[in-house]
Structure 1
Amino acid sequence: MSAGTEVLLVLTNLPDADSADRVTKVVLESRLAACVNRLPACASTYWWNGAIEQATEIPLLIKTTRATYPVLEAVLRKAHPYEVPEIIAMPVTVGLPAYLAWVAGETRPPSV
């Protein structure tokens, strides 16, 4: 696989089901990812503005490519309700070749 088609796993958390559904829809309809997994709600505890906060969040696992990531990040930042959203991309270094090829084939990097 070339560097541009390298598969990334992108993690973000949303505050509720409606925003998770909205973000999932915009990402998939834009072909910025091949698949989005919405996990069950989880409890998050974190520092924010000098205090420890707690919230229930909906994690999304987004499968995309390195070439598509910059546009995906921009779309997530625009669609995300948080002031500073968690957007973390991790390279997939090993995986079933057929699955990785599927992710690359279903994800459309933006035209230049």
Structure 2
Amino acid sequence: MESTSTTVPSIVVYVTVPNREAGKKLSASIISEKLAACVNIVPGIESVYWWEGKVQTDAEELLIIKTRESLLNALTEHVKANHEYDGGNLKYLEWLKNSTREK
């Protein structure tokens, strides 16, 4: 039976990039592959994080990606394949676990 709903379950995904050029390139590829309806590029964010045993600070830009919930896996794979940073979702979550205390 075909759905008559005019909407689908939707999500917002955040991805950081090192600079504007990387953000525009990744955003364009996401949109051209129809993996999202819109990507906002937010300039001038400063990320403070734990890395290699100390506090690091980097200038980055933030991508706010608006898409269908059903496209999350495809979007994740696309970002992993086309992002300038190493890693991926699982490596990021492992880093998050290892960089924080339990309670």
TM-score range, shorter chain: 0.7 to 0.9
Matching residue's letter, 2:82: A
Alignment of 1:94-109 (within 5 A): none
Q: 2: CA distance between counterparts of 1:49 and 1:64?
A: 34
Unpaired segments of 5 or more residues in structure 1?
88-112
Task: Give TM-score scaled by structure 2 length.
Answer: 0.75
Q: Taking every aligned residue pair, what percent have the same amino acid on both sides?
A: 27
Larger radius of gyration: 2
| Cross-structure match for 1:44 | 47
| Cross-structure match for 1:17 | 20
Unpaired segments of 5 or more residues in structure 2?
93-103
| Cross-structure match for 2:76 | 73
Task: Give TM-score scaled by structure 1 length.
Answer: 0.69
Aligned length: 86
Q: 1: CA distance between counterparts of 2:66 and 2:34?
A: 11
Helix, strand or coil: the match of 2:43? coil
* Larger helix percent: 2
Q: Does 1:34 align with 2:37?
A: yes
Superimposed CA distance per residue, residues 31-78 of structure 1 (whole angstroms, 9 cap, x where no aligned partner): 000000011221111011222111000001000011111000000111
Deviating 4+ runs (over 2 angstroms): 84-87
Superimposed CA distance per residue, residues 75-111 of structure 1 (whole angstroms, 9 cap, x where no aligned partner): 0111111123678xxxxxxxxxxxxxxxxxxxxxxxx
Q: 2: CA distance between counterparts of 1:20 and 1:31?
A: 17
